[in-house]
Amino acid sequence: MSTSETTTNGVCIEVDASYAAEHSAPQLGQWFFLYTIRISNVGDETVQLLSRHWIITDATGKVEEVRGPGVVGEQPVLQPGEAFQYTSGCPLATPWGSMRGRYEMRAAGGTRFQAEIMTFELRQPDALH
């Protein structure tokens, strides 16, 4: 399991990523990884997640960028002290790679900011790197 944690403007983002063997087919060049993200409002102002931007890199150095509104179909609003957690997945054509990104957030006063998501590894447990 790979993890990362970072806090930007009172928004703490924790990631746990793991290999999903049951959704993978290495013999076909398909590896699938699950990641669970917990977004916590550790600040003193209500915030809303507006959009996501992921940068996914596989073992060959191929980079794919994913952008879109919200996460898992939601744009959660977090009061101070509240958290939102979700699990999603990422397919790769190699047995390891990495992800990093950011969420565009809006504070109650209207200010927008980028909450960074630190790099975390996607790795099949027995893959050599």
Domains, the chain, with CATH or none: 2-123 (2.60.40.1470)
**DSSP three-state, residue 63:** strand
pLDDT of residue 2: 81
Residue appearing with tokens 């998501």: 117
Residue appearing with tokens 């950011």: 102
pLDDT of residue 55: 98
Residue 24, both tokens: 């993978």
Q: In terms of DSSP bridges, do strands 83-92 and 96-107 run parallel, antiparallel, or are they unpaired?
A: unpaired
Q: How far apart are CA 115 and CA 105, in angstroms?
A: 7
Res. 129: pLDDT tops 80: no
